[in-house]
Amino acid sequence: MLSSLCTDPVGAGAAVLIGLFGSAHCLVMCGGITAAFSLNLPEGQRQGWPFWQRIGAASLGRVTTYLLLGIAFGALGGWLSTTHSLMTLVLRLIAGVVLILMGLWVSQLWRGVTWLESAGYRLISPWIHRVQSKLRPTTLGRAFRYGLTWGLLPCGLVYSALLWSASTAHAGQAGLQMALFGLGTLPALLGAGYLASHLVLQIKAAQLHRISGSLLMLYGVWTLVPVLAMS
């Protein structure tokens, strides 16, 4: 059962790294959303346990969206690879390139994938903001639904992770990778607590960014080796 779900343990570990060390970007993109989330709560729910319950439910909703998107993209990649044998190599090529780009992103050396955000922002954001404006997350169920839409917000890092997950050509592996990616972003987005805030300070260190980004780029090169060997 586990082997059918996780076909690439290294990829699963890389997904956590991408989420964790890319979360400095998530703070820029989603920090305002977290603040808006708090303002949508009644005053008595903006701190303490009631707040943590609701932000936790919203975070679960966001990770659930990533999981479902991963399953869909992985299934699409699997269908493409079975109907067109050449797509197996194409998907692996995409995976390697995207991993290197994400490694550059995490290393803070190049942030070129932000163009994906600008395209998605124009198409998706207006609809999502209209939905969220009608969803005051005063209950756990409403907070969860708020999080489901949160997961659809334009983000170059998320889009890159989805392209990479599609290249697995496996719904279970892709869904797992996207869920782990989402969990990796939680320490930064929930960084108001003592432990999380200290972790955020640590992951902002330039040296750690360089190391984690280099590991991702090495994994991307390793992914590309079979493709390059056939050329």
Q: Could you read off the pLDDT of 142-169 as tens digits, one per residue?
A: 999 989 988 888 777 788 888 888 888 8
Is pLDDT of 4 > 80? no
| Sign of the alpha-carbon torsion through 168, 172, 178, 184 | negative
Q: How many domains does the chain have?
A: 1
Domain that holds residue 67: 2-230
Task: Give the pLDDT confidence score for residue 183 in this predicted structure.
Answer: 93
Tokens 């009631």 belong to which residue?
50
Task: Give the pLDDT confidence score for residue 2 in this predicted structure.
Answer: 44
HEC letters along the chain: CHHHHCCCHHHHHHHHHHHHHCHHHHHHHHHHHHHHHHHCCCHHHCCHHHHHHHHHHHHHHHHHHHHHHHHHHHHHHHHHHHHCCHHHHHHHHHHHHHHHHHHHHHCCCCCCCHHHHHHHHHHHHHHHHHHHHCCCCCCHHHHHHHHHHHCCCCCHHHHHHHHHHHCCCCHHHHHHHHHHHHHHHHHHHCCCCHHHHHHHHHHCCHHHHHHHHHHHHHHHHHHHHHHHHHC
Task: Give the pLDDT confidence score for residue 194 in this predicted structure.
Answer: 37
Is pLDDT of 196 > 50? no
Q: Is the pTM of this model over 0.85?
A: no
| Sign of the alpha-carbon torsion through 40, 117, 88, 13 | negative
Is pLDDT of 91 > 50? yes
